[in-house]
């Protein structure tokens, strides 16, 4: 159905409940595609709603919402997981179906994966150290010498040695960050509570996170070697949070330990195995391509991208083509936590992988693809989707509303920057060069903070408050700051060549400029006869002289070369008795200009539309 809308353009309308599903980072082009409209009309409608955007620009959910409401549609954003599922589906990979199809024949027991959480200073790090050194095999292999982000130890339970996998990043931040990406790695949480201190804010936070994720908890009551230790009080305190010790009739195992004196560690590991056996069905199919999660990753000068991945199902082999988030490659070599080379890794095995072309993020899922080409294509598609989503987010931070307001108030729009570099000379040179960029008077560039060293939480916070973009020159994120930047939608860019930074900033400045609209003439018609109708007002019986006359287009009326009516729209358009959408040069038609009735024979009706002018 075509109906009039804002801006005098015609757009197919929904009935107010027609749902349109869009990806994060979609543009007006995508929206236009779904409703079979002309993207330029959507630009115009949006413009009349007070938002300026190009047809290809990524827009945020709010903007789409406003536009959709106007046109009678309801917007539903496709979640990142759904999007990725669709993306993999295009390559015939359906991870869910794969898991659902696995029965008892394929499934084999796998070790539990454990994360250690708890309040700061309650001994999480010390406990992980203690567990690492209890490993019965570690002695022979020379101990766990490498920090690779996760390790596996063997523990004895009822005379049988069984492996347990530990995520070597203490605290619930990593746990939550991974969950935020849709990766559930942890099977069991060890909640460390210092017996001389008791339940503290982060203890509660940690247990909330674990409970929200449906992860069973084993409580390690730590520092029992201390004089002030009161393990019974911890048990009593935690009953308030639904963690009731077995000895009090509950089903949570509490183990008294001293991470420092290495007391109770074996019992703790046994409690983990007991809890796993009682509460969980830990099985996976080892006989297929590996799927799992990246736990940690970094760029090594000599070895390139180094990622520790945890295999969750299937078996990973040297030579496999893999994708981890937006990184891809071929497994060149694998190492365990002892630095020993492996040729394969089975479920719940953490392993350090060499051979990725870039560094994945902690929490990115990985999978083995049928071949290199597929791996690369999946990675590229993911990257494109991510970039689009990022663009939409960024637009939200530097919003057009603020922009329009600033313009109305006569202020100029400012691009705020935070500059960080490895040496002060570089930061100064960068700042000098950036401030020399000439983009006219409409936009302004301001360096709100500069400094030497990694990009810190403080930098990101500043950027959040002032809508700034962070530029890192030969520096990286400080620990955990990347997550924060991502969460806040702060744009952080890294460079090692100054002119690239300058080029990008220049482009950003141009992108921020208000789009300019120009009038494009569509056609003219000459009035031959005027029909007076009490119902529709005056109708101009006209002959189209040039171009086309389109219903809902903007119009003006000229009499002897002078404009006598402007900002009108072609309200009705008829060929004989029938409604027409457009009428071409050389044809006759009846034109109604709404409430504008001052039409005379020989007047000229000119129609036009506003189009965005590309910037030089
Ligand atoms: P985290 O912040 O939870 O990782 O805590 P740490 O493992 O860094 O430990 C904090 C402090 O408590 C350190 O000074 C440890 O030496 C100390 N600590 C940890 N476990 C024990 C323990 O079992 N007994 C005693 N006395 N001190 C401990």
Structural domain includes residue 458: yes
Q: Do residues 503 and 544 both lie within one domain?
A: no
| pLDDT (tens digit per residue) in 528-565 | 999 887 777 889 999 999 999 999 899 999 998 888 98
φ/ψ bin of 420: left (φ > 0), alpha (ψ from -120 to 50), beta (otherwise): beta
Give the pLDDT confidence score for residue 413 in this predicted structure: 64
Place 84 in a pLDDT band, splitting at 50, 70 and 90: confident
What sections of 90-154 are H helices per DSSP? Answer: 95-101, 124-134, 138-141
Q: Which are the contacts of 259, defined by CB distance < 8 A and separation ≥ 6?
A: 123, 126, 127, 129, 130, 222, 223, 265
Q: How far is the CA of 426 from the centre of ligand 1 (A)?
A: 41
Is the distance from the beta carbon of residue 12 to the nearest atom of ligand 1 less than 6 Å?
A: no
Q: Pick the atom of ligand 1 nearest to 192's CA.
A: 3
* Rounded mean pLDDT, 225-251: 93
Percent of the chain with pLDDT over 90: 40
Tell me the β-bridge partners of 533.
537
Is the distance from the beta carbon of residue 170 to the nearest atom of ligand 1 less than 6 Å?
A: yes
* Rounded mean pLDDT, 454-461: 84
Place 6 in a pLDDT band, splitting at 50, 70 and 90: low
Give the pLDDT confidence score for residue 406 in this predicted structure: 44
Ligand 1 atom 15, closest CA: 123
Give the pLDDT confidence score for residue 403 in this predicted structure: 36
Q: How far is the CA of 260 from the centre of ligand 1 (A)?
A: 7
Percent of the chain with pLDDT over 70: 88
Is the distance from the beta carbon of residue 125 to the nearest atom of ligand 1 less than 6 Å?
A: yes
Structural domain includes residue 99: no
* Rounded mean pLDDT, 362-371: 90
* Residue from 117, 118, 121 whose mutation best tests the ligand 1 pocket (most atoms within 8 A of CB): 121
Is the distance from the beta carbon of residue 123 to the nearest atom of ligand 1 less than 6 Å?
A: yes
Give the pLDDT confidence score for residue 164 in this predicted structure: 96
Structural domain includes residue 98: no
Give the pLDDT confidence score for residue 114 in this predicted structure: 95
Structural domain includes residue 349: yes
Q: Do residues 116 and 265 both lie within one domain?
A: yes
Q: Which are the contacts of 357, defined by CB distance < 8 A and separation ≥ 6?
A: 305, 327, 328, 329
Q: Pick the atom of ligand 1 nearest to 261's CA.
A: 23
Give the pLDDT confidence score for residue 399 in this predicted structure: 34
Q: Do residues 172 and 269 both lie within one domain?
A: yes
Last residue of a domain, one of 512, 529, 546: 512
User: For 58-62, 504-508, 587-591, 608-612, which range has the lowest pLDDT when averaged over its residues?
Assistant: 504-508
| pLDDT (tens digit per residue) in 141-176 | 456 667 788 999 998 888 889 999 999 877 776 677
* Rounded mean pLDDT, 63-76: 90
* Rounded mean pLDDT, 591-597: 90
Is the distance from the beta carbon of residue 550 to the nearest atom of ligand 1 less than 6 Å?
A: no
Is the distance from the beta carbon of residue 225 to the nearest atom of ligand 1 less than 6 Å?
A: yes
3-state secondary structure of 569: strand
Which residue would you say has higher pLDDT here, 461 or 113? 113
Q: Pick the atom of ligand 1 nearest to 120's CA.
A: 2
Give the pLDDT confidence score for residue 60 in this predicted structure: 82
Structural domain includes residue 44: yes
Phi and psi dihedrals of 413, rounded to 5? -80, 140
Is the distance from the beta carbon of residue 126 to the nearest atom of ligand 1 less than 6 Å?
A: yes
Q: Do residues 246 and 207 both lie within one domain?
A: yes
Q: Do residues 503 and 528 both lie within one domain?
A: no
Structural domain includes residue 272: yes
Q: Do residues 265 and 175 both lie within one domain?
A: yes
Q: Do residues 380 and 440 both lie within one domain?
A: no
Q: How far is the CA of 126 from the centre of ligand 1 (A)?
A: 6
Q: Do residues 220 and 367 both lie within one domain?
A: no
* Residue from 115, 120, 122, 123 whose mutation best tests the ligand 1 pocket (most atoms within 8 A of CB): 123
Ligand 1 atom 11, closest CA: 121
* Rounded mean pLDDT, 229-241: 94
Q: Is the pLDDT of residue 23 over 70?
A: yes
Give the pLDDT confidence score for residue 73 in this predicted structure: 92
User: How many structural domains compose the chain?
Assistant: 5
| Nearest CA among 611, 609, 598 for reference residue 551 | 609
Q: Pick the atom of ligand 1 nearest to 258's CA.
A: 23
Is the distance from the beta carbon of residue 129 to the nearest atom of ligand 1 less than 6 Å?
A: no
Query: What is the CATH number for 477?
Result: 3.40.50.10050
Domain extent at residue 50: 2-78
Give the pLDDT confidence score for residue 511 in this predicted structure: 56
Query: What is the CATH number for 354?
Result: 2.40.30.10
H helix or E strand, kind and range, residue 560? none
Answer yes or no: pTM beyond 0.75.
no
Q: How far is the CA of 173 from the centre of ligand 1 (A)?
A: 19
> Using CA atoms, how far apart are residues 101 and 107, in angstroms rounded to an integer?
11
Q: How far is the CA of 226 from the centre of ligand 1 (A)?
A: 11
Give the pLDDT confidence score for residue 218 in this predicted structure: 97
DSSP letter (8 states) at residue 7? G
User: For 179-183, 245-249, 395-399, 561-565, which range has the lowest pLDDT when averaged over its residues?
Assistant: 395-399
Ligand 1 atom 6, closest CA: 123
- b/e burial code for range 497-521 (CB count within 10 A of at least 16 → b): ebeebbeebeebbebbeebeeeeee
Q: Do residues 534 and 502 both lie within one domain?
A: no
Q: How far is the CA of 265 from the centre of ligand 1 (A)?
A: 14
Give the pLDDT confidence score for residue 402 in this predicted structure: 41
| Averaged pLDDT of the chain | 84
Q: How many residues can be counted in the chain?
A: 616
Ligand 1 atom 14, closest CA: 121
Q: Pick the atom of ligand 1 nearest to 126's CA.
A: 7
Q: Do residues 144 and 226 both lie within one domain?
A: yes
Which residue would you say has higher pLDDT here, 81 or 322? 322
Is the distance from the beta carbon of residue 196 to the nearest atom of ligand 1 less than 6 Å?
A: no
In three-state form (DSSP H/G/I as H, E/B as E, the rest C), the secondary structure along 379-395 is HHHHHHHHHHHHHHHHH
**To which residue do tokens 């358009």 refer?**
573
Q: Do residues 178 and 210 both lie within one domain?
A: yes
Q: How far is the CA of 258 from the centre of ligand 1 (A)?
A: 9
Q: Do residues 443 and 371 both lie within one domain?
A: no
Q: Is the pLDDT of residue 398 over 50?
A: no
* Residue from 259, 264, 265 whose mutation best tests the ligand 1 pocket (most atoms within 8 A of CB): 259
Structural domain includes residue 93: no
| pLDDT (tens digit per residue) in 466-498 | 777 889 988 888 888 888 888 777 788 888 888
Q: How far is the CA of 256 from the centre of ligand 1 (A)?
A: 14
Last residue of a domain, one of 454, 488, 512: 512
Is the distance from the beta carbon of residue 121 to the nearest atom of ligand 1 less than 6 Å?
A: yes
Structural domain includes residue 38: yes
Last residue of a domain, one of 36, 52, 78: 78
Q: Are 402 and 411 in contact (CB under 8 A)?
A: no
Q: How far is the CA of 195 from the centre of ligand 1 (A)?
A: 11
What sections of 437-490 are H helices per DSSP? Answer: 457-465, 481-488
Query: What is the CATH number for 213?
Result: 3.40.50.300
């Amino acid at each position: 159905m075509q109906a009039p809308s804002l801006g005098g353009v015609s757009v197919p309308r929904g009935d107010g409940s027609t749902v349109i599903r869009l990806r994060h980072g979609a543009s007006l082009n995508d929206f236009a595609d779904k409703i079979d409209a002309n993207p330029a009309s959507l630009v115009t409608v949006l413009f009349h709603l007070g938002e300026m955007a190009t047809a290809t620009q990524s827009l945020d959910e709010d903007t789409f919402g406003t536009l959709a409401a106007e046109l009678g549609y309801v917007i539903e954003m496709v979640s990142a997981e759904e999007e990725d599922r669709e993306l993999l589906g295009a390559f015939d990979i359906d991870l869910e179906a794969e898991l659902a199809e696995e029965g008892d024949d394929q499934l084999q027991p796998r070790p539990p994966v454990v994360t250690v959480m708890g309040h700061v200073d309650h001994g999480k790090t010390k406990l992980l150290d203690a567990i690492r050194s209890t490993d019965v095999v570690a002695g022979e292999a020379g101990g766990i010498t490498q920090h690779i982000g996760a390790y596996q130890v063997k523990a004895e339970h009822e005379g049988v040695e069984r492996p347990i996998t530990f995520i070597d990043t203490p605290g619930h931040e990593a746990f939550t960050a991974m969950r935020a990406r849709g990766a559930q790695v942890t099977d069991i949480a060890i909640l460390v509570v210092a017996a001389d201190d008791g339940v503290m804010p982060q203890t509660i936070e940690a247990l909330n996170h674990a409970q929200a994720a449906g992860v069973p908890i084993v409580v390690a009551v730590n520092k029992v070697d201390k004089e002030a230790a009161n393990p019974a009080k911890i048990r009593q305190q935690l009953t308030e949070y639904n963690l009731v010790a077995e000895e009090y009739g509950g089903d949570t195992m509490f183990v008294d330990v001293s991470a420092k004196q290495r007391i109770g560690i074996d019992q703790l590991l046994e409690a983990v195995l007991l809890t796993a056996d009682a509460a969980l069905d830990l099985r996976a199919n080892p006989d297929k391509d590996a799927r799992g999660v990246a736990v940690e990753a970094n760029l090594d000068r000599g070895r390139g991208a180094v990622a520790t991945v945890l295999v969750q199902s299937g078996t990973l082999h040297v030579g496999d083509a893999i994708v981890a988030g937006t990184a891809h490659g071929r497994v060149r070599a694998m190492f365990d936590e002892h630095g020993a080379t492996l040729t394969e890794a089975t479920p719940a095995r953490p392993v350090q992988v060499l051979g990725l072309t870039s560094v994945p993020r902690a929490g990115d899922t990985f999978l083995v693809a049928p071949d290199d080409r597929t791996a690369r294509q999946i990675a590229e598609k993911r990257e494109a989707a991510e970039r689009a989503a990022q663009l939409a987010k960024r637009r939200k931070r530097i919003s057009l509303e603020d922009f329009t307001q600033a313009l109305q108030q006569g202020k100029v729009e400012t691009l705020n920057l935070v500059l960080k570099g490895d040496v002060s000379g570089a930061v100064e040179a960068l700042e000098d060069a950036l401030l020399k960029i000439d983009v006219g008077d409409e936009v302004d560039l301001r360096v709100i903070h500069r400094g030497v060293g990694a990009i810190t939480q403080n930098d990101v916070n500043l950027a959040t408050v002032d809508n700034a973009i962070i530029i890192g020159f030969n520096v990286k994120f400080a620990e955990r700051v990347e997550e924060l930047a991502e969460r806040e939608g702060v744009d952080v860019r890294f460079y090692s060549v100054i002119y690239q930074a300058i080029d990008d900033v220049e482009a950003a400045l141009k992108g921020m400029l208000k789009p300019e609209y120009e009038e494009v003439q569509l056609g003219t018609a000459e009035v031959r006869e005027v029909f007076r109708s009490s119902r529709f007002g005056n109708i101009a019986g006209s002959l189209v002289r040039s171009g086309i006359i389109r219903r809902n287009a903007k119009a003006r009326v000229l009499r002897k070369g002078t404009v006598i009516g402007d900002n009108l729209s072609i309200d009705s358009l008829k060929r004989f008795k029938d409604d027409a959408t457009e009428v071409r040069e050389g044809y006759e038609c009846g034109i109604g200009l709404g409430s504008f009735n001052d039409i005379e024979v020989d007047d000229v009706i000119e129609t036009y539309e506003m189009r965005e002018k590309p910037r030089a």
